[in-house]
């Protein structure tokens, strides 16, 4: 059988078929990962067409994050059983990665929808709206805790969202109970929360009941938020309404899209009852 009877490929031809440069094949040969089937007395290397599938498997494993050293170890002990086991392992990794990507896509879609909605809002308006039922994931109780404890709770809550994959892309908000709001303790929150449009089974959730809410927007930091609450209470009195059990706050614009706190926008949703 001659070197060029149609069954062998030069290094250049094989590299072109595999869409890599010849140096990659030289390196694979050097480390014993993919060795030419034939080397003549002049040092020319020739590959078999049957080796293309082997190259594609090596390339696939590299793309899936497997190191050349690990691929070498497999090649030194390859068998149908070990190949099948490796493929099952990589399939599981791909499924997990796909789920993570899909979750991130949903997060981005939520952020896009919220930002597009915000661009059409009139922050000077106070409106009475019917809000649907919502499922919320809560932090532990933060009412009457110190600043140091508050930082710890935020850290723990964000860690829970990451570990349990509960970050839905919605803003982290705060719930304040009626008693605190009535006393003017607007920053004495009871819980942090994040909305869960697709709640997972097995987690404790807070069900925010549907109903009427008085909604307004505070521009600036929390030091002046009492002025916005005063405006909301005035509107509540004008409409002959009473405050319900909870008040919800969420950032519309924060440090992600604004550089200065005086430009931050907080959405305040006050649950109300008809007198």
- Predicted confidence at residue 6, as pLDDT, reads 55
Tell me: pLDDT of 81 over 50. Answer: yes
Q: Which helix (H) or strand (E) holds 253?
A: strand 241-253
Show the tokens assigned to 106: 């949903």
Percent of the chain with pLDDT over 90: 88
User: Using 50, 70 and 90 to split pLDDT, how confident is the model at 274?
Assistant: confident
Between CA 245 and CA 254, with CA 251 as vertex, the angle to 5 degrees is 160
pLDDT digits (tens, 9 = 90+) for 175-233: 999 999 999 999 999 999 999 999 988 898 999 889 999 999 999 998 999 999 999 99
Tell me: pLDDT of 266 over 60. Answer: yes
The pTM score is 0.77
Residues 20, 23, 24, 28: is their CA dihedral positive or negative? positive
User: Using 50, 70 and 90 to split pLDDT, how confident is the model at 43?
Assistant: confident
pLDDT digits (tens, 9 = 90+) for 108-129: 999 999 999 999 999 999 999 9
Query: Do 77 and 85 touch, CB atoms closer than 8 A?
Result: no
Closest CA relative to residue 250, chosen from 188, 155, 183, 176: 176
Give the Cα separation of 268 and 71 in Å (integer).
56
Query: Do 231 and 221 touch, CB atoms closer than 8 A?
Result: no
Query: Do 73 and 61 touch, CB atoms closer than 8 A?
Result: no
Residue 134 backbone phi and psi in degrees, to 5? -135, 140
Give the Cα separation of 54 and 33 in Å (integer).
10
- Predicted confidence at residue 5, as pLDDT, reads 52
Show the tokens assigned to 237: 């009195």
Show the tokens assigned to 43: 């040092």
């Amino acid at each position: 059988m001659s070197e060029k009877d149609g069954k062998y490929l030069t290094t250049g031809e094989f590299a072109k078929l595999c869409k890599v440069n010849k140096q990659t094949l030289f390196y694979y040969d050097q480390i014993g990962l993919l060795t030419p089937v034939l080397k003549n007395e002049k040092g020319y290397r020739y590959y078999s067409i049957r080796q293309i599938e082997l190259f594609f498997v090596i390339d696939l494993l590299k793309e899936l994050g497997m190191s050349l050293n690990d691929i070498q170890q497999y090649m030194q002990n390859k068998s149908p059983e070990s190949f099948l086991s490796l493929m099952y392992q990589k399939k599981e990794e791909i499924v997990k990665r796909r789920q993570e990507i899909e979750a991130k896509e949903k997060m981005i879609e939520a952020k896009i929808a919220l930002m597009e909605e915000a661009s059409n809002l009139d922050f000077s308006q106070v409106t009475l709206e019917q809000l649907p039922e919502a499922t919320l994931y809560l932090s532990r109780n933060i009412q009457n805790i110190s600043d140091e404890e508050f930082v710890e709770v935020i850290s723990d809550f964000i860690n829970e969202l990451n570990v349990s994959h509960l970050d839905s892309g919605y803003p982290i908000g705060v719930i304040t109970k009626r008693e605190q709001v009535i006393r003017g303790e607007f920053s004495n929150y009871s819980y942090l929360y994040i909305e869960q449009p697709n709640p997972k089974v097995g987690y404790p959730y807070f069900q925010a009941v549907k109903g009427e809410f008085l909604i307004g927007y505070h521009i600036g930091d929390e030091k002046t938020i009492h002025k916005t609450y005063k405006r909301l209470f005035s509107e509540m009195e004008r409409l002959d309404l009473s405050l319900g059990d909870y008040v919800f706050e969420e950032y519309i614009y924060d440090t992600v899209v604004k550089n200065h706190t005086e430009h931050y926008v907080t959405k305040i949703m006050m649950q109300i009852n008809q007198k």
